[in-house]
Amino acid sequence: MLSQYYTDLLSWPTTIAPDTGEVQLRLGETIDALVMRARFGGEVNHQLVQAMLHVPIIIVPGAKVVDWVFLTQPRTPMRRSTIDDLMAAEVGWYDADDTIALPAFGATEGDLRWLQCPEARAELPSWETIVGAVRRTFMRTW
């Protein structure tokens, strides 16, 4: 049912992981993602909210750190300086054809969950938009 929601209403390429039953999102062709530590992610999201942009963000809890995954349109080519800035800010990305787990709606604290849920038929922000917000935030925090 959850996979059907993601596929039908959001047009996202999803599958069900046979071993865990999790809904998995395939990255690369239609959707991509940037991942960063929660604290920095909060500052990046603040930049985006100020620009009145809504970005689906997944909270990935960990034993020691919490990551935020920002979903975007497909990745575009990056200059070496952009890659260097992202690496300096400790922002990562996934390989093409990687999959990530999608949260169930209504997940609770400590679970994989949505910070900001996706909106049906809403276009994801471009890769460049999120990268730009990361770079502006990182340059400001130096």
In order along its 142 residues, the chain shows pLDDT tens digits of 676 777 777 888 998 888 888 899 999 999 999 999 999 999 999 999 999 999 999 999 987 789 999 999 999 999 999 999 999 999 999 998 999 999 987 777 778 999 999 988 789 999 999 999 999 999 886 5
Domain that holds residue 19: 2-141
Per the structure, the count of domains in the chain is 1
Q: What is the pTM of this model?
A: 0.92
Phi-psi region of 37 (alpha: psi -120 to 50; beta: other; left: phi over 0): beta
Nearest to 51 by CA among 118, 136, 121, 140: 136
